[in-house]
Structure 1
Amino acid sequence: MPDYRAYIVGTDGHFKSSEAIIADDDEKAVKIAQKLVDGHDVEVWQLDRKITVLPHKE
């Protein structure tokens, strides 16, 4: 099973925290990470490969 992480991005553009994501593929990892978008952007990574950036809605 691929190892994913969701990084919470602060208003200064730096990572504030991260969450491990257990998912079978990129699509499932992104769906899980979308639940973490709450007033801040979230970047989804698999090891050193950036999957996507999920922007917050103002």
Structure 2
Amino acid sequence: MPEYRVYAIGEDGNISLRLDLMCANDDAAKERAKVLADDRVIELWQFGRKIGTFKPDPLKNERVAGWLKGELRPPK
């Protein structure tokens, strides 16, 4: 199974966290990396090959924050 590395990029542009992943292929690794991009920028690499950059969805974060504050109601 191919080995991948996920890097969380901090606000200062430096790596703040590294995770090693074992995934069947690039598509599976991308799906796992997207989940990690919930609140931070994520870069996915396989050795020296950059596969992609995944950014948080700002609208999703605003909706969740609104629900937590009681400003928005979840859809019924």
Q: TM-score, normalised by structure 1?
A: 0.90
| Corresponding position of 2:50 | 50
Deviations 1:14-50 (A, max 9, x none): 1101111110111000101111113210000001100
The aligned length equals: 58
Higher RCO (CA 8 Å, separation ≥ 6 residues): 1
Identity between Structure 1 and Structure 2 (%): 33
Q: Which has the larger strand fraction?
A: 1
RMSD: 0.9
- From the CA coordinates, give the structure whose radius of gyration is larger: 2
Q: Which has the larger helix fraction?
A: 2
Q: Which stretches in structure 2 are left out of the alignment for 5+ residues?
A: 59-76
Q: TM-score, normalised by structure 2?
A: 0.71
